[in-house]
């Protein structure tokens, strides 16, 4: 008789954030992904809830990729007693070195702000973890090559498979006593500009698949043309194009597009500034690991040649005094914080300028308000009139839509007897469940927060 093998869904249920799956087998326990809940307050509150397991009793942690909603709870897990290995791909380890300390810094800033405004129920407000905690947890990371399975305590094997999305992103298949369960992680595009398409999944008895775009398709636009038109129109007016961009992935993709447009002489020669310390470091990692994406060393060199890196705060402030046409790429991607806010304050009120958002804008963010036509925007407690052109180019998403994901699954060797749909808002997850049942004939369900199933 085989011993029990269970999976518990501790995040990414009814939301795209907080990914965490607990695997229990024999006397052993493994956590797959360790993400932070983000977005609206009721969801974020779960970051402070007691975990349904003892972190010190875990045998291992596995990570699909570096995004904070998959890795950002790790320093908190360490603070609660987890001191063993965190297995992931090389790209994930490199990016976590940049993303986790930044997340710790933001937690500290939020706590400071809450104390200043005295709106926290806890006096004084404490950060979930600090930048220093985040640096400490990096020592537990163990990079794994895609070809090499990891042998975990108690006879469990883990294998990593590349799925596009961002550098290092992986699906993970776990095998225990002949039973196989595969977690898709976040799945990339079938025809991404910089990342390879996801590799077909291996044979599996169970599948956990994401559904961010379970009910939506990406619009079919020529992103090069859209960007060239905005830049040319803005430059002709003597204006500046500001692009709020996510530091990992989107910033590198837009630099690549700009480099191609420049080479094809479809945009005039003008300075291109990358103003975000995190995006600069993510770009360096992207250049270093060039065998893990579509761009060659020469492509990366040309991107590097056209970019002016803005490193210090002084240089960033100085940039706001420039009056001639330029492109400024800065984080955060939804204008919820970071250096982009200072540029937005300076540029948004002048009709010669343009602001180009580059992807999904979560409800309640400035990016969401601006792309929906807000005529004023509040930044640092002050209102600014919106007179610049504002656009959103959603087609640059790093997630496959449901047609891309169903196609990918159809061409895999997966054939699971049960699929679990996670990592989507309720409507998106349910739409994905129906499509998988109708088009692939696989049994699918949408698990609830903290639900546990026996495999």
Cβ-contact 257, 227 below 8 angstroms:
yes
Cβ-contact 447, 453 below 8 angstroms:
yes
Residue whose CB is less far from Zn ion, 68 or 254? 68
Residue 213: other Cβ atoms inside 10 A? 23
**CA proximity to 251, closest of 163, 310, 198:** 310
Helix (H) or strand (E) run with residue 367 in it: helix 366-371
Residue whose CB is less far from Zn ion, 186 or 215? 186
Burial class (CB in 10 A: 0-12, 13-18, 19+), 385: exposed
- According to the binding rule CB under 5 A, does residue 186 interact with Zn ion? yes
Q: Which stretch binds Zn ion (CB under 5 A): 179-187, 206-214, 319-327, 409-417?
A: 179-187
Residue whose CB is less far from Zn ion, 95 or 227? 95
Interface mask (CB under 5 A) for Zn ion, residues 200-239, using x and -? ----------------------------------------
Interface mask (CB under 5 A) for Zn ion, residues 136-175, using x and -? ----------------------------------------
Distance separating alpha carbons of residues 426 and 215, to the nearest angstrom: 10
Nearest distance, CB of residue 210 and Zn ion, angstroms = 9
Cβ-contact 442, 419 below 8 angstroms:
yes
Q: What 3-state class would DSSP assign to 314? A: helix
Burial class (CB in 10 A: 0-12, 13-18, 19+), 187: buried
Interface mask (CB under 5 A) for Zn ion, residues 254-293, using x and -? ----------------------------------------
Q: Which stretch binds Zn ion (CB under 5 A): 59-67, 259-267, 352-360, 443-451?
A: 59-67
Beta bridge partners, 176, equal: 179
Site for Zn ion (CB under 5 A): how many residues?
2
Nearest distance, CB of residue 64 and Zn ion, angstroms = 8
Nearest distance, CB of residue 130 and Zn ion, angstroms = 24
Distance separating alpha carbons of residues 49 and 143, to the nearest angstrom: 30
Residues 296-335 that bind Zn ion (CB under 5 A): none
- According to the binding rule CB under 5 A, does residue 192 interact with Zn ion? no
Beta bridge partners, 22, equal: 8, 31
Q: What is the CA radius of gyration of the chain?
A: 22
Nearest distance, CB of residue 283 and Zn ion, angstroms = 18
| Residue showing tokens 């809940």 | 37
Distance separating alpha carbons of residues 449 and 137, to the nearest angstrom: 26
Residue whose CB is less far from Zn ion, 235 or 429? 429
- According to the binding rule CB under 5 A, does residue 250 interact with Zn ion? no
- According to the binding rule CB under 5 A, does residue 67 interact with Zn ion? yes
Does the N-terminal peptide bond of residue 332 adopt cis geometry, omega within 30 degrees of 0?
A: yes
Nearest distance, CB of residue 290 and Zn ion, angstroms = 21
Nearest distance, CB of residue 248 and Zn ion, angstroms = 9
Beta bridge partners, 141, equal: 86
Nearest distance, CB of residue 186 and Zn ion, angstroms = 4
Residues 102-131 that bind Zn ion (CB under 5 A): none
Residues that bind Zn ion (CB under 5 A): 67, 186
């Amino acid at each position: 008789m085989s011993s029990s093998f269970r999976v518990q869904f501790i995040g990414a249920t009814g939301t795209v954030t907080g990914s965490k799956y607990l695997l229990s087998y024999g006397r052993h326990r493994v956590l797959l992904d360790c993400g932070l809940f983000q977005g609206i307050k009721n969801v974020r509150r779960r970051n402070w809830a007691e975990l349904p397991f003892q972190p010190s009793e875990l045998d291992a942690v596995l990570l699909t990729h570096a995004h904070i909603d998959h890795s950002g709870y790790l320093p908190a897990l360490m603070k609660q007693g987890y001191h063993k290995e965190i297995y992931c791909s090389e790209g994930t380890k490199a990016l976590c070195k940049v993303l986790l300390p930044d997340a710790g810094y933001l937690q500290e800033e939020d706590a400071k702000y809450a104390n200043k405004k005295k709106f926290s129920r806890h006096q004084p407000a404490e950060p979930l973890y600090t930048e220093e905690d985040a640096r400490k947890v990096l020592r537990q990371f163990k990079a794994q090559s895609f070809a090499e399975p990891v042998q975990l305590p108690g006879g469990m094997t883990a294998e990593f498979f590349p799925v596009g999305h961002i550098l290092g992103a992986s699906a993970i298949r776990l095998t225990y006593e002949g039973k196989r369960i595969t977690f898709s992680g976040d799945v990339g595009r079938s025809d991404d500009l910089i990342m390879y398409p996801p590799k077909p999944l291996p044979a599996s008895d169970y599948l956990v698949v994401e559904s961010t775009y379970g009910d939506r398709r990406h619009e079919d636009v020529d992103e090069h043309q859209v960007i060239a038109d905005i830049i040319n129109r803005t430059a002709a007016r003597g204006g500046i194009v500001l692009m709020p961009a996510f530091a990992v992935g989107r910033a590198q993709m837009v630099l690549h597009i700009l480099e191609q447009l420049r080479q094809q002489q479809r945009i005039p020669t003008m300075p291109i500034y990358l103003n975000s310390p995190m995006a600069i470091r993510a770009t360096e990692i992207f250049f270093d690991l060039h065998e893990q994406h579509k761009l060659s060393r020469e492509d990366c060199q040309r991107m590097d040649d056209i970019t002016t890196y803005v490193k210090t705060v002084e240089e960033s402030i100085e940039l706001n005094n420039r009056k001639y046409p330029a492109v400024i790429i800065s984080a955060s991607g939804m204008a919820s914080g970071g250096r982009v806010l200072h540029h937005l304050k300076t540029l948004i009120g002048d009709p010669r300028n343009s602001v180009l958002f580059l992807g999904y804008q979560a409800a309640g963010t400035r990016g969401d308000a601006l792309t929906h036509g807000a005529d004023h925007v509040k930044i640092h407690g002050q209102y600014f009139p919106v007179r610049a052109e504002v656009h959103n180019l959603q087609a640059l998403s790093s997630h496959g839509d449901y047609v891309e994901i169903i196609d990918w699954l159809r061409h895999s060797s997966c054939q699971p007897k049960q699929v679990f749909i996670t990592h989507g808002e309720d409507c998106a997850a349910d739409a994905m469940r129906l499509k998988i049942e109708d088009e692939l004939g696989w049994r699918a369900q949408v698990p609830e927060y903290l639900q546990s199933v026996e495999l």
